[in-house]
Amino acid sequence: MKYRYLTPAGETLQEKVLHHYGLYERREELLNDAYEPDLQQEALLHFRKALLSCQNEKIFIVGDYDCDGITSTAILKSLLQKLNIPVNYYIPSRFRDGYGVNPRMVAQAAHFGFTTLLCLDNGVAAKEALAEAKELGLKVLIMDHHEYQEAPEVLGFLHPRLLKEGYRDCCTAGLAYLLYSTFEEDEKLKAYAGIATLADVVEVFGYNRYLIKEALRILSEGKVPAIDCLNGKKCSYQVNDLSFRVIPKINALSRLEGKANVNQMVNYLLADEATCQATAPQIDSVNELRRTLSAQMYDHASSQYPEGEILLFADESYQEGLCGIIAGRLTHDRRKACLVFAREDGILKGSGRSLPGGDLYQALYPYREHFLTFGGHELAVGLSLKEEEEAGFREYLASLEPMTINEEEECILLDSRDLTQQNLESLEALQPFGQGFREPLFALKDPEITSHFLVKGKYPKFVLKGGAEAISFHPEDARRYFTYLIGHPEKNNYRKGVTFRIEDMD
């Protein structure tokens, strides 16, 4: 990794970070804990009116198999039940159904007497399914945040693009809770919307920021037993608790065909505490299997070295449901957009990930007519194609112009005297970090070290002048020479003070 070292203006860590990102003028907005959602937006009220016009209908929800689709289904199922509207739902199988609503689901909904279709986190580009719904006389409501070229002609359509500034990067669960809020508030459902906002890697400004902060508050107060059971304990929640311990488990049930039914996750999120305690160990076991298979798949893929601007990995041994995870890890490793496919029955099915600056969706969009399925956004796509199309697709990838991905990581230079409790608190006030306002990297140049030793005989730890500590959890760092220590200041969990967690040395 290459690093660029910067010294932004400011006395406190908070000021340095805000100046670094060019966000100092938005300081009040970022620190505001009194955000009031706008529930009078025209597009929102139009969708609300369309939904209420269906009070005498039977509504069938088609969700999506990721955290956003699962939580938005839970939120809208709860809302429809409160409105006494008959409702059922279906989260499509990643393997049998693929992404989103299809004509077969529409026909089944009509067969079982449903008169209205509600698509959540999908539907905006489902032309065949919408044509089937029109043919069968079903009303259609769509709440989605994925890219579209033309708005679908349906009874109700809600998309972030139709809302005000500050709402235009919402995920579907964010839209779902915004709608729910026009009727009443529910802290558990609000927490789910915040979790999905983190999971979908949307920008952490405006309404999204409000939802994430509220989710962390609500969860830290122990008000959501389903999440406490997944986390393994009640605690004061931070973003990393959700990103590394909770969200992967919500997503795990959809990734392994035959091992679990993702539809049960909706029931789990809405269940009572006793049911959650009984069910969580089953979810944990599925997630452990997912981790094991992911490690095997990553080891195989990381030994391959395809060429091109967008790297393509494909193998018969790959699990379709794990392709996105592996694509993300490979993209981070190789610093290029990566596509990972599972080969099965003459079809390549998989996912792609990119880095900021490299719009993967737009890069692949001109080739869309050759895909069996295709969807996503700038940093993540899902797609499939016939194996007979593979050679042509590889030629297309080879013809692409280089993406403008920044190969340098920017670091804010600090002095060890900056590592104070007061400074750390000023930095923590800026959380949550995320897309568009990511957690900054810091660097200590030639820090004055008063002593150093190995923790547990392998992890290098340095005591810095002034009393702060710096520690690396990479044993190989014990043998490295450095000018810069690169990482993040954190609370010391064992004594008052600040620890600098080392991520790299340069």
436: CATH: 2.40.50.460
- pLDDT value, residue 373: 87
Does a structural domain hold residue 237?
no
**In a domain? residue 114:** yes
* 470, part of any domain: yes
Q: Pick from 399, 434, 454: which residue ends a domain?
A: 399
Kindly state whether residues 215 and 85 are assigned to the same domain.
yes
Q: How many residues does the chain have?
A: 506
- Per the CB < 8 A criterion, the answer to whether 132 and 21 are in contact is no
The pLDDT value recorded for residue 406 is 67
Task: Return the pLDDT at 464.
Answer: 93
The three-state (H, E, C) secondary structure of 291-332, written as one string: HHHHHHHHHHHHCCCCCCCEEEEEECCCCHHHHHHHHHHHHH
Helix H or strand E segment including 442: strand 441-445
Any domain includes 240? no
Q: Where are the alpha helices (DSSP H) in 182-307?
A: 187-199, 206-220, 225-231, 239-241, 247-252, 263-269, 273-302
pLDDT confidence of residue 361: 92
Tell me the CATH number at 380: 3.10.310.30
Last residue of one domain, picked from the residues 356, 383, 399: 399
Do 391 and 412 reside in the same domain of the chain? no
Q: Find residue 393's DSSP bridge partners.
A: none
Whether 201 and 87 share a structural domain = yes
* Shared domain check, 21 and 93: no
Residue with tokens 């305690």: 277
Tokens of 250: 């919500």
Tokens of 506: 């340069």
445 plus 351 within the same structural domain: no
Asked if residue 266 belongs to a domain, the reply is: no
pLDDT of the chain, 506 residues: tens digit per residue = 789 999 999 989 999 999 999 999 999 999 988 899 999 999 999 999 999 999 999 999 999 999 999 999 999 999 999 999 999 999 999 888 878 899 999 999 999 999 999 999 999 989 999 999 999 999 999 999 988 888 999 999 999 999 999 999 999 999 999 999 999 999 999 999 999 999 998 999 999 999 999 999 999 999 999 999 999 888 889 998 999 999 999 999 998 877 889 999 999 999 999 999 999 999 999 999 999 999 999 999 999 999 888 999 999 999 888 999 999 999 988 889 999 999 988 999 999 999 877 889 999 999 999 999 888 778 889 899 999 999 999 999 989 888 877 667 899 999 988 999 999 999 999 999 988 898 999 999 999 999 999 999 999 999 999 889 999 999 999 889 999 999 999 987 677 789 999 999 99
Give the domain-ending residue among 399, 430, 457.
399
Verify that 130 and 109 share a domain, yes or no.
yes
Q: How far apart are CA 287 and CA 266, in angstroms?
A: 17
Do both 66 and 210 map to the same domain? Answer: yes
Q: State how many domains the chain has.
A: 3
Do residue 119 and residue 215 come from a single domain? yes
Residues 128, 187: one domain? Answer: yes
Angle at 250 between CA 248 and CA 256, to 5 degrees: 80
Domain extent for 101? 42-221
Domain membership of residue 348 (yes or no) is: yes
CA atoms within 13 A on the CB side of 89: 28
Does residue 277 belong to any structural domain of this protein? no
- Together in a domain, 54 and 139: yes
Query: Which residue, 499, 505, 430, 437, is CA-closest to 475?
Result: 505
Pair 65, 205 in one domain: yes
Residue 471: its pLDDT value, please? Answer: 94
- What's residue 195's pLDDT? 98
Distances (CA, A) of 214 to 44, 164, 182, 184: 21, 21, 17, 16
State the chain's maximal CA–CA distance in angstroms.
Answer: 77
- The answer on 320 and 357 residing in a single domain is yes
Q: Quote the pLDDT of residue 355.
A: 86
Domain of 161, CATH number, reads 3.90.1640.30
